[in-house]
Amino acid sequence: MESKQELKVVLIQQDLQWEDKVANINLFDTCIKSLSAAADIIVLPEMFSTGFTMQAEVFAEEMSGRTIQKMQEWAKDSNAVICGSIIIKEDQKFFNRFIWVEPNGKIEKYDKAHLFRMGEEEQHYTRGSEQLLLNYKGWKIAPFVCYDLRFPVWLRRTEKFDFDLMIFVANWPERRSKHWDLLLQARAVENQSYVLAVNRIGNDGKQIYHSGNSAVIDPLGNIVFKLEHEAMVKEIVLSKASLDNYRESFPLGLDTDKFEIC
């Protein structure tokens, strides 16, 4: 696969319709088809087809289900990776699963490792136990889901888990948006990595409001882009040369403490 020094990423921040797959799929279909320029990666929010519902048994799909088929269709038609999380049923268990679909139909997956117990997520879903490291067009990419953001040990860049870009997809409420902003910048700085985060806007079915705050943070912690409250489809270009030059000039990784996740 061709390596790229510049990676074109698209963030799609929208107001999800509560537990309405048809409406949400149609919404993202319109957003993706509205893109006028070629992109490399298109990122959708957490549970983009349903909102953050605990009715896993009602809305879960198999890996061969209609939503993933639609993601494959979008990826092929746009010639870009499509990624976001949906509810998956597998071996009689339910997962909040990040799905990564490449234009050739290849699928990778990451199951949310930290389930949001304050929303009773751990009562309905099974936690994931494995990190995922993707290699795409010369970029190493690590995806995570929402509440994972609060756990820096799980997210830490190491020699074995070495990434250039962290992707977070979320349904993060407005009332904790300050935490979201601070943690995204912290994860970028401590890992010397780009951070791309896509959240939803609007009220969910429990009348919890989400302000979006989808963002791109550079490895120094600078906010490249952030948008609150509004629906948007935004393209950002990331520079591999800038990342590599910064890491070489400030080799933080040489002094990183060694540890293993058990």
Enumerate residues 6+ apart whose C-beta is below 8 A from 222. Answer: none
Token output for 92: 């009689």
Pick the catalytic residue from 21, 70, 109, 112.
Answer: 112
| Beta strand residue intervals within the chain, DSSP E | 6-13, 41-43, 81-90, 93-101, 107-111, 134-136, 139-145, 165-169, 194-198, 201-203, 209-217, 223-228, 232-239
**In angstroms, rounded to a whole number, what is the distance separating the alpha carbons of residues 218 and 59?**
36
Contact 214, 198 (CB under 8 A): yes
Q: Is 83 a catalytic residue?
A: no
Q: Which listed residue (61, 83, 146, 174) is catalytic?
A: 146
Q: Which of 21, 31, 46, 70 is catalytic?
A: 46
217 closest CA partner among 227, 228, 205, 225: 225
Annotation marks residue 21 as catalytic: no
Contact yes or no for 228/213 (Cβ under 8 A): yes
Establish whether 90 is a catalytic residue. no
Pairing, β 6-13 against β 232-239: antiparallel
- For the chain, give the longest Cα–Cα distance: 52
How far is residue 47's CA from residue 97's CA, in Å, rounded to a whole number? 8
State the residue for tokens 């061969």.
64
Strand partners, 41: 9, 81
Catalytic site positions = 46, 112, 146
